[in-house]
Amino acid sequence: MVILYIEKTKADETIWLKNPITNCKKITLNYCNFVNQLYNLEKEGTISDGQGNVLIRIPKGYYTLPSFKSALDKAVSIGKKPVSISESVLTPNVNIVLNDSLAKLLKLDPDLKKDSKNSINIVRACEFVYIHCSLVDPKQVLFNNNYSQLLAYVDLGSHNDRIQYKPFNTLYTPINDDYINSIRLWATDYNNNIIHSGIYPMKIVIEII
């Protein structure tokens, strides 16, 4: 048995081993730890009037409809509210302009007219991080109906800042080589797109038996 402690700092990274590992058959992810900054509002959101004056600032972060309402209420707690939300409908009380990041989050056009009713459909952030490893035998793992080198997936839960993954039950996956001198690791979303930022550095503990 070999335990590897790895600090992954890149989206797609290969770790070279000083001493090769031989005669091992299975691999598992024992532990993973990182600060979650996978936001659905990647940059500060602003609501401005027609003259470009910023009326509301919404900090970057992860938002659901309730948390966005809360952030909006805090931002306009003083003075007349330039916008209001009832359920999932945003109504401007004056003509307003959303910056690109906020328009993308709410799936709205940037320019909104006074008293117009605008349905909000907040874009969801990544809910799982899928960790892949070059040692996994792709003939033994199916992910999204395709053969894969998926090692484990990490549930981001309620999008807390600090994510710590430690499985209750150890699940071993067959490996595809009996002579290991390097390990490639990469992280993706559900659609197999590599996640380039927001979760690194990532501390990982891998067990090979």
Task: For the full predicted model, state whether its pTM sits above 0.85.
Answer: no
Q: What is the side-by-side strand order in the sheet with 179-188? A: 12-22, 179-188, 128-133, 150-155
Decide if pLDDT at 129 tops 90. yes
Q: What is the pLDDT of residue 78?
A: 63
Decide if pLDDT at 178 tops 80. yes
Whole-Å CA distances, 16 to 37, 196, 208:
28, 21, 15
Q: What are the helix (H) ranges across 1-149?
A: 65-75, 100-106
Across residues 80-95, what is the average pLDDT?
A: 91
Name which of 35, 89, 48, 43 is nearest 63 in CA terms. 43
Whole-number average pLDDT of the chain: 93
Decide if pLDDT at 190 tops 80. yes
Share of the chain above pLDDT 90, in %: 79
Task: Report d(CA 124, CA 60) in Å as an integer.
Answer: 14
Residue 115 CA, distance from chain mean position: 35
Decide if pLDDT at 79 tops 80. no
Task: Report d(CA 49, CA 56) in Å as an integer.
Answer: 10
Q: Is 84 left (phi over 0), alpha (psi -120 to 50) or beta?
A: beta
Q: How confident is the model at residue 102 (pLDDT cuts 50, 70, 90)?
A: very high
Across residues 178-189, what is the average pLDDT?
A: 95
Q: Which of 26-35, 54-63, 146-155, 159-168 has the lowest average pLDDT?
A: 159-168
**Residues carrying CATH 2.60.120.1100, the chain:** 2-37+126-208
Q: Which CATH class is domain 2-37+126-208?
A: mainly beta
Decide if pLDDT at 33 tops 70. yes
Across residues 170-180, what is the average pLDDT?
A: 93
Across residues 76-83, what is the average pLDDT?
A: 78
Across residues 118-134, what is the average pLDDT?
A: 93
Decide if pLDDT at 207 tops 70. yes
